[in-house]
Structure 1
Amino acid sequence: MQIGEVAARTELSLRTIRHYEDTGLVIPSARSQGGFRLYTEDDVARLLVIRRMKPLGFTLDQMRDLLDATDRLDSGTELPADERGSLLERVRTFEDAAQQRVVDLRTQLARAEEFAGTLRERLGRAPAQ
């Protein structure tokens, strides 16, 4: 599929997808004869991982590290047990970090909702004009 369809499916802008390409996070699987980027379902899945990591505050280097680990685990080649264990531990570290960031975001959301409620109550007490 071309970049426009990928953008629609991932809810990422063309500019963002190109930026991720420039930084090496995702590489189009092919190019058309006209030079258009062509992406596969695997490329879309990779972009969705990146999109999910972004709001949790992961850096591009961290995204690259996780994608490298999952690429190696999913490569279909037999990995030595120690290397496989090390890669799985890297993925676990990211899962732990993601869980902690979710907790932090829930706390921030609760505080924001409390603040909005306080403002709503204040407006409800204001005299009508």
Structure 2
Amino acid sequence: MAIIRKVLGPFSPEAVHPGTKDAELRWYFVGIRGDQTTAHWALIFKAEDRKFTVSTSQLGSAWRGNSMARASRELGDAYPSVVVHPDAFLDGSPVEEGRVVDILRKRLNPEDFAKATALAIARR
């Protein structure tokens, strides 16, 4: 099980490969893991199997999504993956434990779930 100290997002939701059998939706998050390293996640809904998955990456590495690829190119190595100050962004909110996909899904709003449902129905 993952330990997450803080999650920010979702940011820049996007549709990837719309209108194809590989259509998917992505939401991007940043956060602080239990070991106080910075995490960068993409929550991915694939219409083909109607499931949510999580992809973890660091800024500067190759993301397939357009928004994160652009952010990755612009930011490059300017931001290390380790938090400079261990308590940065921590506000006393409870630490979460569990599967990362479940923790991130809780942060989606009903409109995001409606988009995912519509994508899955349209794929039929």
Common fold by TM > 0.5 = no
TM (norm. structure 2) is 0.22
Between structure 1 and structure 2, the one with the greater Rg is 1
More helix by share: 1
More strand by share: 2
More contact order relative to length (CA 8 Å, sep ≥ 6): 2
